[in-house]
């Protein structure tokens, strides 16, 4: 079986051992006589899956008992609306740090649902090449929203803002890639399709005091967008994304077996350092993000020539290095090296880049 090195920004590659285990379970999960994809979410068998998935995620991230863990649908993009709808019932103000395309979409969604959305800082004028740190945060805002890792532009927060209002973070592209202190956040949410599972699952980690206060919910918020709906029903108010939750469970087990999030962080830092070291010493390729804000998940780079960029992407694909084309907003190249990308994949990519440079510089 031929497997390529998949550098897609999402949906991204999954660990091969996880895929093989899922393949074995696909027809007959846990001797139930049916596939996990066919099973009712009300069965005791699936209940064990979702309970263990939550328990493992709590263990891996150090999530305290005063936080809910919710498994929902709709992607992180749906949470752009759900966040203000669940938090702005008392105070119609919310602040946003606009550090990338998805951070900007979250801000725009706040405007759409009718709250007083305020840009506390932005790097948009400089094409999001850095994380803005000069903040104008309103002390009476309901929350400050950040995007912890910017997939398109290859930047991340190395230190999170220290504010006196609830901090809300979209961690879709770096959840479980590094250790964080969950207690610094009021809410963390993440689409699963980059570091956890196939597309279809979104995880919401929210402080119970925020969710349980019904006055925080904006009047008229649809039932399915209310976090308390899912919290009161153990994420089983309606049919959840069962297969992605099962896949998440397998990934959580794997991360624990490898030594937990700290072990993943060490591996991820090492992978990224290798690639950035090559780029910083290259005569052809150049990293585009501000050095101190560089993402360890999404490495963006260019040759300086659109023609050479296109040639590199084409030849890389022909040699088994797939999905390296940069986002349409920025062009160039992007290597997404999430948890599932083996270190060997980064080593092989660097070898290919060195060969391409020798032939084209």
Burial of 21 (0-12, 13-18, 19+ CB in 10 A): middle
246 and 340 housed in the same domain = no
Place of tokens 């896949």: 247
264 and 254 housed in the same domain = no
Name residues whose C-beta falls within 8 Å of residue 3's C-beta, 6 or more positions apart in sequence: 16
The pLDDT of residue 361 is: 80
228 and 156 housed in the same domain = yes
11 and 24 housed in the same domain = no
| CB 210 within 8 Å of CB 80 | no
153 and 245 housed in the same domain = yes
50 and 71 housed in the same domain = yes
The pLDDT of residue 82 is: 98
- State whether the Cα torsion 104-110-113-117 is positive or negative: negative
Task: Indicate which CATH number applies to the domain containing 318.
Answer: 3.90.1150.10
The pLDDT of residue 216 is: 97
Structure pTM?
0.97
The pLDDT of residue 1 is: 67
Place of tokens 């296109």: 310
Percentage of the residues of the chain whose pLDDT score is greater than 90? 99
92 and 80 housed in the same domain = yes
The pLDDT of residue 33 is: 93
> 11 pLDDT band (50/70/90 cuts)?
very high
Task: Indicate which CATH number applies to the domain containing 126.
Answer: 3.40.640.10
| CB 21 within 8 Å of CB 250 | yes
In tens, the pLDDT along 215-237 reads 999 999 999 999 999 999 999 99
36 and 96 housed in the same domain = yes
Burial of 344 (0-12, 13-18, 19+ CB in 10 A): exposed
Split into its structural domains, the chain has a count of 2
Structural domain of 107? 16-258
Q: Which two tokens stand for residue 28?
A: 């007959």
> 351 pLDDT band (50/70/90 cuts)?
very high
241 and 285 housed in the same domain = no
- Last-in-domain residue among 258, 283, 313: 258
């Amino acid at each position: 079986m031929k497997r390529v090195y998949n550098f897609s920004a999402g949906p991204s590659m999954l660990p091969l051992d996880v895929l093989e285990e899922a393949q074995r379970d696909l027809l007959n999960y846990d001797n139930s006589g049916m596939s996990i994809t066919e099973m009712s979410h009300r069965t005791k068998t699936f209940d064990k899956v979702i309970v263990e998935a939550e328990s493992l995620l709590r263990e891996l991230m150090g999530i305290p008992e005063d936080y809910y863990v919710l498994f929902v649908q709709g992607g992180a993009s749906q949470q752009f609306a759900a966040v203000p709808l669940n938090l702005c019932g008392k105070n119609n103000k919310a602040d946003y740090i606009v550090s990338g395309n998805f951070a900007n979409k979250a801000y725009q969604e706040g405007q759409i649902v009718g709250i007083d959305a305020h840009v506390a800082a932005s790097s948009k004028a400089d094409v999001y090449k850095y994380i803005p740190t000069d903040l104008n945060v309103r002390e009476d805002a309901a929350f400050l929203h950040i995007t912890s890792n910017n997939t398109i532009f290859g930047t991340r927060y190395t230190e999170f803002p220290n504010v006196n209002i609830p901090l809300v973070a979209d961690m879709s592209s770096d959840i479980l890639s590094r250790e964080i202190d969950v207690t610094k956040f009021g809410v963390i949410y993440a689409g699963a399709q980059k570091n956890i599972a196939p597309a279809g699952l979104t995880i919401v980690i929210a402080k119970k005091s925020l969710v349980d206060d019904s006055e925080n919910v904006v009047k008229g918020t649809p039932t399915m967008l209310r976090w308390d709906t899912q919290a009161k029903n153990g994420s089983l108010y309606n049919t959840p994304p069962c297969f992605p939750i099962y896949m998440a469970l397998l990934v959580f087990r794997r991360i624990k077996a490898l030594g937990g999030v700290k072990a993943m962080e060490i591996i991820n830092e090492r992978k990224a350092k290798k690639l950035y070291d090559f780029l910083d010493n290259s005569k052809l390729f150049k990293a585009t993000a501000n050095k101190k804000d560089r993402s360890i998940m999404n490495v963006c780079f260019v040759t300086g020539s659109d023609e050479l960029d296109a040639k590199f992407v084409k030849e890389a694909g022909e040699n088994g290095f797939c999905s390296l084309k940069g986002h349409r907003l920025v062009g160039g190249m992007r290597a997404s090296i999430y948890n599932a990308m083996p270190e060997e994949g980064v080593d092989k990519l660097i070898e290919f880049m060195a060969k391409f440079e020798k032939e084209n510089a």
